Amino acid sequence: MTKTAVSTTINGDAAEFLCETGETLLDVLRDRLDLTGSKEGCGTGDCGACSVMLDGRLVCSCLVLGVEAQGRAVETIEGMAEGETLHPLQQKFLEHAALQCGVCTPGFLVAAKALLEVNDDPSESQVRYWLAGNLCRCTGYDKIVRAVLDTAKDMRSARA
């Protein structure tokens, strides 16, 4: 099967890969670039475990083709911490014990970060609806929602 060459940017760095035209961006990230932080929970856009940012937009990478990344910027969970320093959301998820098995966590973090970028003062129900595309089977969402609300509060007071 012939492959297509794709040039893209991943977490700020230029990246190139060859992929089959039918391969999803998620497959490319995981199987070709060894960025396995994004997870496949369903492959059909229903669980959000594969959430990444594509040109600043939150997407399910299992619903994007690898070739669609050509010339665009992809951000994944691997790019969220700055070196040794965790993103405030990552830190709050740990403090609130917002993960049990942790397989949904990368997707929730990417999605929650996207929320706080457009709304730094979300209500509980805004958080719940924004995250409704991310499934977690372990936590019942309580601690996840608290962690996001608490991060937003801290980020606001840091800015004030």
Partner 1 sequence: MIKTKFKLVGTRPLRPDGVDKVTGRARFGADISAPGMLHALILRSPHAHARIKSIDTSRAEKLPGVKAVVTRDDFKLPEREDLVDICRNVMAREKALYDGHAVAAVAAVSKTVAREALKRIQVEYQVLPHVTDVDAAMKPRAPILHKGMRTIGAEPAAKKDSNVAQIHTFGHGDVVKGFAKADIIIERSFKTEATHQGYIEPHACLATYGADDRADLWCCTQGHYMVRNACAGLLGMEVSHLRVTASEIGGGFGGKTTVFIEPVALALSRKAGKPVKLVMSRDEVFRASGPTSSSSTDVKIGITKKGKITAAQAILRYQGGAFPGSPVQFGAMTGFAPYDLENVHTVGYDVVANRPKQAAYRAPGAPLAAFAIESVIDELAHKIGMDPLEFRLKNAAREGTKSSYGPTFGPIGLEATLKESKKHPHHLAPLGPNQGRGVACGFWFNFGGQTSVSLNIGEDGTVSVVEGNPDIGGSRASMCLMAAEELGVPYEKVRTVIADTASLGYNEVTDGSRVTFAVGMATIKAARQAIAIMCERAAKIWDIPAEAVVWEDGCAKPAGSNAGNFKPMTLAEIAGSAGSTGGPISGHSEATADGAGVSFATHMVDVEVDPDTGKVTVLRYTVFQDAGKAIHPAYVEGQFQGGAAQGVGWAINEEYIYGEDGRLQNPGFLDYRIPVASDLPMIDTVILEIPNPGHPYGVRGVGETSIVPPLAAIANAVSEAAGVRLTHLPMSPPRVLKAMMENGKGAA
CB of 73 to ligand FES, least distance (A): 19
Footprint of partner 1 on 91-110 (CB under 8 A): 93-97, 99-106, 109
Which contacts qualify for 125-134: CB closer than 8 Å, 24 or more apart? 131/48, 133/48, 133/51, 133/60, 134/47, 134/48, 134/49, 134/51, 134/104, 134/107, 134/108
**Token digits of residue 140:** 């019942």
113 is an interface residue for partner 1 by CB under 8 A:
no
Nearest CA to 18 among 27, 35, 77? 27
Amino acid at the residue 66: G
Give the footprint of ligand FES on this chain (CB under 6 A): 40-43, 45-50, 60, 62, 99-104, 136-139
CA-to-CA distance for 157 and 99, rounded, in angstroms? 25
Contact string 19-48 vs partner 1 (x = CB under 8 A):
-x-x-------xx--xxxxxxxxxxx-xx-
Number of H helices, E strands in the chain: 5, 5
CA 126, 129, 130, 131: dihedral to nearest 10 degrees? 120
- Nearer to ligand FES by Cβ, of 54 and 60: the residue is 60
- Nearer to ligand FES by Cβ, of 14 and 132: the residue is 132
CB of 2 to ligand FES, least distance (A): 26
CB of 156 to ligand FES, least distance (A): 26
Q: Which residues bind partner 1 (CB under 8 A)?
A: 1, 20, 22, 30-31, 34-44, 46-47, 49, 76-78, 80-81, 86, 90, 93-97, 99-106, 109, 124-125, 127-129, 131-146
